[in-house]
Amino acid sequence: MIIIKTRQEIEKMKKAGELLARVHKEIAKMIKPGISTYEIDQFVEEYLKKNGATAEQKGYQGYQFATCASINDEICHGFPRRSPLKDGDIVTIDMVVNLGGWLADSAWSYGVGNISDEAKKLLDITKKALYIGIEKAVIGNRVGDISHAIQTYVESEGFSVVRDFVGHGIGRNMHEEPQVPHFGSPGRGPRLMEGMVLTIEPMVNIGRYESTIDDNKWTARTIDGKLSTQYEHTLAITKDGPIIITDQE
Ligand code: MF3
Ligand code: CO
């Protein structure tokens, strides 16, 4: 069942999203060679606490951290760790903020120091893919229209889209219906209606799209060891078009 949100509920989610956006902007300033994702995770937990919010991921199905930190060939659900980030790494920080019982979810990828031209292109195409998906998030379209637009764009640039992880509805719960794949056919899937709140979160790989899960049972990485990045926003479908709940602008 898709849970439709009222204007007032969307406003509450927007408050969670504004806080999450501020956290990402702080992280952007912190990322440099030598800092660890563990330090970033500690910072996020503290920052949320100071602002009357909590990290929804911590304790979710036994997950131990406030953030996911996925480095280089890790696709998603990487654990924050004490080893420092190195010049040339790319890292995705993903988190879900709970403010007053309402959630917002956003992942952002960052280059550490000097990164390769290929990594720069991957970051650029992945972020563009997110916004191309958001453009399709309008009343009357179907979920498949978002999926198809993202897949078509990413593949036209010679990269691949991860199949094993998808966007989702969100509200008082992290994962609600519908699922929002980043690949698929136009005109398929649930119709988009006013008051739906969704995440769009393409994970884009330089090489093959398949993933494998680490022994820690969480971390997904590319099967060919090549780079993967992700950008994710939470957005609301409204009569005036999509509202980006986690907008950083
Ligand atoms: N934020 C993730 C998403 O985009 C979910 C993370 S799984 C968790 O759906 F266990 F780490 F919470
Ligand atoms: Co997320």
- Calculate how far, in angstroms, residue 5's C-alpha sits from the geometric centre of ligand 2: 19
The phi, psi pair for 123, rounded to 5°, reads -60, -45
Which distant-in-sequence residues (6+ apart) come within 8 Å of 32 by Cβ? 85, 112, 113
What pLDDT does 149 receive? Answer: 99
What is the enclosing helix (H) or strand (E) of 177?
Answer: strand 176-180
Regarding the beta carbon of 94 and ligand 1, being less than 6 Å apart is answered: yes
List pLDDT tens digits, range 198-237. Answer: 999 999 999 999 999 999 999 999 999 999 999 999 999 9
Which atom of ligand 1 is nearest to 63's Cα?
10
Could you give the domains of the chain? Answer: 7-244 (3.90.230.10)
Regarding the beta carbon of 63 and ligand 1, being less than 6 Å apart is answered: yes
Regarding the beta carbon of 41 and ligand 1, being less than 6 Å apart is answered: no
Over residues 15-32, the mean pLDDT reads 98
Which distant-in-sequence residues (6+ apart) come within 8 Å of 197 by Cβ? 5, 10, 13, 169, 170, 171, 234, 235, 236, 237, 245
Regarding the beta carbon of 56 and ligand 1, being less than 6 Å apart is answered: no
Which atom of ligand 1 is nearest to 68's Cα?
11
Q: Which pTM does this prediction carry?
A: 0.98
Regarding the beta carbon of 232 and ligand 1, being less than 6 Å apart is answered: yes
Largest pairwise CA distance in the chain: 48
What pLDDT does 238 receive? Answer: 98
Pocket test for ligand 1, best of 63, 96, 203, 231 (most atoms within 8 A of CB): 96
SS3 81: coil
What pLDDT does 6 receive? Answer: 98
- Calculate how far, in angstroms, residue 170's C-alpha sits from the geometric centre of ligand 1: 11
